[in-house]
A and B are shown apart, each in its own frame.
Chain A
Amino acid sequence: MDDKQRRDLMTGVRDIAPILLGVIPFAMVSGITAVGAGIPKHIAMLMSLSMFAGASQLAANQLIGAGAAWFVIIYTALVINARFVVYSASVAPYLQSLSSPAKWLYAYLLTDQGYALSVLRFRRGDNLDPHLYYLGISVTIWLTWQVFSAAGIYLGSNIPEHWGLDFAVPLCFLAVLVQALEDRESIVAGATAGCIAVFALPLPLNTNLILGVMTGIGAGLLSEHLRHRREGRF
């Protein structure tokens, strides 16, 4: 690796550094709640390494702790991670030159933060090598996630229950949710999903989650359609 390549890699590491302040508590909460849900420590670590997707891990921890059915746990996690399809489609044109193993690695390392930062660079197409920049960002996030998940799993599990640390889970979701409410249509989607999920909570098999997500997406699409019609685009 020559100097220029090292510099491109390090630019990614430097750009992601401030965002790690958010990754650290997220990883620790995910580790602590995994153990709190009754998952054996090494298996909680396996979960963190194999999934590497915070929001879905937190949701899975919550469902596992509540004794949900296995298929509910799996589909809830996958619904939350369906957003990766959007990221995947959006970065795919810039990754076509990579070898197959590199594509697998880049896909495994795909995160919200890594996507948001690197897609800007990919589109700009300046003198920076976007692949190395992406690696610099993603490997840094990966290492931070794994180290602090391990800290939460192996060191944080003796936190007394009366601290109410379970409330940190919805707060983690809330922090990401507020950033996702970027326009009127996504607010409609979120509000609908939230209301349905609240009222449908007594339904069996945690049906309220999937019902909330589906009606939320439908409401978002509908409000987008209505806005386009108002603007005379259809």
Chain B
Amino acid sequence: METPHLIAAILAMAAGTLVLRLSFIYLFSEEMPEILDRALRFVPAAALAALVAPAVLRPDDGPIDVSLGNERLLAAVFAGLVAHYTKSFLFTVLSGMTAFWLLRLVF
């Protein structure tokens, strides 16, 4: 992407994000409609899963790989367990990267 287009896209994302953050603090004073509230609560789980799953299950956008030869999948399962038990962002990323490096050395 050319630089001016890139800047425009970044500013659009920034402005849009600010509007989302301002929404109820500044722009509307009513209560949020209940159905919207319930739907938005699923956004983090759905959006993050939609980003993680292809990166882990289809390395380099290739075919689906659920074999033991898929280091990303094994490392992600390990990191997911670490995330669940430690609730630590740092440990999750470090353990996942370490597992990934070790598995690549072994295979």
Residue positions of A touching B, CB distance < 8 A: 21-26, 29, 39-40, 43, 46-47, 50-53, 55-56, 59-60, 62, 64, 67, 70, 73-74, 77-92, 95, 100, 103-104, 106-108, 110, 163-165, 167-181, 185-187, 189-198, 201, 208-209, 212-214, 216-217, 220-221, 224
Which residues on the A side are within 8 Å of B10 (C-beta)? 43, 46-47, 50-51, 60
Chain A residues with Cβ under 8 A from B93's Cβ? 25-26, 29, 168, 171-172, 175
Listed by A's residue number, 6 A-B pairs whose Cβ atoms lie within 8 Å are: A23-B89, A25-B94, A177-B83, A186-B42, A217-B39, A217-B46
Q: Which of A170, A175, A224 sits near B55, CB closer than 8 Å?
A: A170
Contacts of A224 in B (CB 8 A): 38
- Distance (whole angstroms) from the CB of B78 to the closest CB of chain A: 10
Interface pair B48/A173, CB less than 8 Å apart: yes
Smallest CB-CB A-B distances: 7 pairs: A22-B89, A216-B46, A212-B50, A194-B53, A50-B14, A220-B42, A178-B83
For B20, what are the chain A residues with a Cβ–Cβ distance below 8 Å? 78, 81-82, 84-85, 88
User: A89 is contacted by which of B32, B49, B94 (Cβ under 8 Å)?
Assistant: B32
How many A-B residue pairs lie within 8 Å, measured between CB atoms?
271
User: Chain B residues near A179 (CB, 8 Å)?
Assistant: 83, 87
Cross-chain contact A198 with B58 (CB below 8 angstroms): yes
Is there contact, CB below 8 Å, between A60 and B52? no
Q: Is the CB of B11 within 8 A of A70?
A: no
Q: Which residues of chain A are within 8 angstroms of B22 by Cβ–Cβ distance?
A: 88, 103-104, 107
A25 to B20, CA, bound (A): 25
B64: contacting residue among A60, A193, A198, CB under 8 A: A198
Q: Does B106 contact A (CB under 8 A)?
A: no
Indicate if the CB atoms of B1 and A189 lie closer than 8 Å.
no
Q: Check if A171 sits within 8 Å of B97, measured CB to CB.
A: yes
Q: Which of B71-107 contact A (CB under 8 A)?
A: 72, 75-76, 79-80, 83-84, 87-90, 92-94, 96-97, 100-101, 104
Q: Give chain B's interface residues, CB within 8 Å of chain A.
A: 1, 3, 5-14, 16-18, 20-26, 29, 31-32, 36-58, 61, 64, 72, 75-76, 79-80, 83-84, 87-90, 92-94, 96-97, 100-101, 104
Q: Is the CB of B5 within 8 A of A70?
A: yes
Establish whether residues B76 and A170, one from each chain, have CB atoms under 8 Å apart when the complex forms: yes
Distance of A171 from chain B, by nearest CB (Å)? 4
Give Cα distance in the complex from A70 to B11, angstroms: 12
CB–CB A171/B32 < 8 A: no
Which residues from chain A contact B3 at a C-beta distance below 8 Å? 40, 43
| A174, B97: Cβ atoms closer than 8 Å | no
Say yes or no: B25 contacts A212, CB within 8 Å. no
Q: Roughly how many angstroms separate A24 CA and B53 CA in the complex, as a whole number?
A: 24
Give the CA-CA distance A78 to B50 in the complex, in Å. Answer: 14
Residue of B nearest to A189 (CB): B42
Which residues of B are found within 8 Å of A78, using beta-carbon distances?
13, 16-17, 20
Q: Contact check: which of A29, A77, A194 meets B16 at CB < 8 Å?
A: A77
Q: In the bound complex, do residue A197 and residue B13 qualify as a contact, i.e. CB atoms below 8 Å apart? A: no
Known contacts A22-B90, A40-B3; is A85 also within 8 Å of B24 by CB?
yes
Are B7's CB and A43's CB within 8 A? yes
